[in-house]
Structure 1
Amino acid sequence: MIDSWQHLHSKPDILGNPFVAHTYRFDGAVSAVVTTVIEYVTPAPSHKAILYLHGYTDYFFQDQLAHHFEQLGLSFFALDLQGYGRSIRPNSVPNWCESLSQYHDDIHIALTEMYKLGVTEVTLLAHSTGGLIASSYISTQQASEQDTNNKPRITGLMLNSPFLALPFSPNIIKHVSWPIWLAVSLLPYHSLRAHKISLYAQTLHQEFGGEWSYRLDWKPAHGFPLSFHWLKQVILTQRALQKHPIALPTLMCHSKTTTRHALDIEEVKLGDGVLDVDSMNLAAKNAFSQLTAVAIEGGYHDLFLSPKPIRQRYLTAIDQWLLGHNVIGSLPNTANG
């Protein structure tokens, strides 16, 4: 785990007031990199906080999510991991990694800096590949019993459609796991480039008729090239989680339906257009010993980016779980997303 980093600056964030972006530089796996901690600044911060991790080809832009947790009385922080979003730099390839464990350094920096701001308890909230990274971080900390001094205590984990298994049905995974492993091992420098915009991407951005406006250079509709080396690291991390179940209260929310093979946008909108929810559930049951799983009817892959009524059902599931685990004491009437 990294033991030193440099605070470069803290400045108003692109999301506007009251967001502040804190940027830190440290030695990465290959060269110096930066990580960005986005803070939702409030007049009366809580010692309990949420730390959000984005997914692959992604960054934090969901300002409404931060506002929701602020209404619950929780402080809110988010990470743009090294090589993603605000942390992209000319000297590194966007979204590239030597190992998913390198992102443990980003989490370590964020938690340490949050502790300096008065946070003593944190619940991690993570989407897709971010969910895999957050789970791996907790598993590593749990296995090594590393010193938690000068860091908040992690009291829970909330997962939004986590990338815990390859995006195929359980039956297909049995047949394709070995060929995929052979390909990513023999061709580590190979990558796949999308030749057209995915149907899932077309459900999101305003340019294609979706609800959301975000930077297409940081979250491109075509995605970044899919590296076989990256995929190998994902598989290794997924396998490691199956061997060491996490003993931490965990909420996993996911769509009720898989629509990744849909042929039109309207069908994709009915469920998760990226991952397979059955394989996700199967992997989660083996990876978490205190798991609560909630299926959200009609939820998109990123549940928070679903249409508002569905998004509200997702937030309600989170609120009820936080209440049941004493992270919050009550549900204010204003906590309506």
Structure 2
Amino acid sequence: MSEPIDVLAPWGDAGPAPVNQWRHDILGAAFESRTIELLPDAEGDNVATLVRYLPHRDPASTPRARSFPRFAALYIHGRNDYFFQTELARSMADSGAAFYALDLRKYGRSLRPWQTIGYTDDLNTYDEEIGESLDIIRSEQGDLPLVIVAHSTGGLIATLWAHRHPGALGGLILNSAWLEMQTLANLRSTIQPVLGQIAYYSPMWPVPMGSGPDFYARSLVDGWSGSGLTTPPSFSGNEDDPAFTGWDYAHEWKRPGSYPAQVSWLDAVLRGHEVVNEGVDISCPVLSMTSSGSYFGEQWDEQVFTCDVVLDVEVIAKRAATLGPLVTVAHFPGKHDLFLSDPWVRADVYSLMRRWCGAFVAAE
């Protein structure tokens, strides 16, 4: 039997961030976090955690990043995830953003020992912490245009939120948003009622998700240097990049091998997919970014580093094109999380985001 995971360990001796007060974050002096108290549920008390980036405390930030912001950005992570992408914060600030990130309830900084990691039975539940976070951001940034940047399951959550809150956003940026159930899309109408019945009677029943190798986690933890594969020549001079050495993050919060999915959680996701399939209407500009291709092979291969091994990018692109009247779809030869891809891919992703925000959200 495996040892229990201490979900508070990444905080160190200081413990979780205080309620309604900013304090230094685990990411260093340029980041602060604060705890947001939420309504309790059947498991007990809930919290969310808001993080903000302070470029004037960051020696690596640019003068442009330290100037007056032209818009505000809120990042929302995916499943088995939390915010640790400091390069994203720096890039967004250099694009003119006051940057914030939200660790949703039962994830990352917001996970508590009595909770089931990542669990919810209704994606609309996250409206509470998104709303509380936006109130804080508006209190600090006034009426600046707001952009939500969201990854994977967070992209589905943000898409549904934007649909229900027309006019609230100046832009929506999706990084491999989970907008549909891969190859099961054609079977959803059959599967969903069955899952719904199981969820009604046994909401915490673990859904069999297979036991194959987790190539995605391995690519993140080991990087190219530990992959045993032929390293691209482009890494010459980039041997200190985390895509080469392996990304540094808290395994208590972003777990190699992930964790079981409860049937009621999956039912909530499928209901979200159905809303997207039936048609959402997002009034603000949308930038939907995915990998150039998907790889679901059973062999450890270089494609693990250049493809999405989690989602079917063709299905995602098809759904993304229907989200609203102004949607930009872009593909890059990167991983499921494009922000954790090879350095030249990340540079292209951030360049597009910078130009897109300048064109559609906050012109120079």
Normalising by the smaller structure, the TM-score range is 0.7 to 0.9
Query: C-alpha displacement at 1:193, in angstroms?
Result: 6.2
Q: Which of 8, 14, 20 is equivalent to 2:26?
A: 14
For 2:265, the equivalent position in structure 1 comes to 230
1:29 Cα deviation from its structure 2 partner = 4.0
Residue pair 2:55, 2:90 contacting (<8 A) in 1 also: no
Quick check: 1:135 aligned with 2:159?
yes
Q: Residue 286 in 1 paired to residue 336 in 2?
A: no
* Alpha-carbon contact 1:47-1:119 (below 8 Å) kept: no
Matches of 2:297 and 2:213, distance apart in 1: 14
Deviation at residue 157 of structure 1 after TM alignment: 0.3
Are 1:161 and 2:185 an aligned pair? no
One-letter code of the match for 1:275? L
Deviations 1:203-229 (A, max 9, x none): 111486553111111000110211221
- Please give the per-residue CA displacement for 1:1-58, whole angstroms capped at 9, x wherever unaligned: xxxxx93542110000110011111214433210000000244552521100000110
**Letter of the 2:82 counterpart:** Y
Deviation at 1:275, TM superposition (A): 0.4
Q: TM-score, normalised by structure 2?
A: 0.80
What are the within-5 Å matches in structure 2 for residues 66-145 of structure 1?
Answer: 66-120=89-143, 121-142=145-166
Deviates more, 1:298-307 or 1:6-15: 6-15
SS in 1 for 2:135: helix
Cα deviation digits, residues 80-134 of structure 1 (max 9, x gap): 0000000001232110002011111111011000111124221110001101101
Q: Across the two proteins, how many residue pairs are aligned to each other?
A: 310
CA distance in 2, matches of 1:272, 1:119: 38
Residue 203 of structure 1 aligns to a residue whose secondary structure is: helix
Structure 2 partner of 1:323: 358
Comparing 227-236 with 51-60, which one deviates more in the overlay? 227-236
The answer to whether structure 1 residue 276 and structure 2 residue 319 are counterparts is no
Quick one: structure 1 residues 285 and 28, their matched pair in 2 at CA, closer, same or farther if it must change by over 3 Å? farther
TM-score, normalised relative to structure 1: 0.86
* CA–CA separation in structure 1 for the residues paired with 2:142 and 2:87: 21
Runs of 4 or more above 3 Å deviation: 6-9, 28-31, 42-45, 192-197, 206-210
Q: Per the alignment, do residues 7 and 47 of structure 1 end up closer, same or farther by CA in structure 2, a change over 3 Å counting?
A: farther
Matched residue of 2:169: which SS? strand
1:47, 1:118 within 8 Å by CA — same for their partners in 2? no
1:212 paired with 2:247, answer yes
Of the candidates 341, 344, 349, which is equivalent to residue 309 of structure 1? 344
SS at match of 2:46: strand
In 2, the alpha carbon distance for the partners of 1:9 and 1:47 equals 25
- Name which of structure 1's ranges 242-251 and 50-59 shifts more when overlaid on structure 2: 242-251
Take 1:59 and 1:328, find their aligned partners in 2: how far apart are those partners? 30
The one-letter code matched in structure 2 to 1:101 is N
Deviation at 1:180, TM superposition (A): 2.6
Q: Which residue of the partner structure matches residue 303 of structure 2?
A: 267
Distance 1:328 1:68 in 2: 16
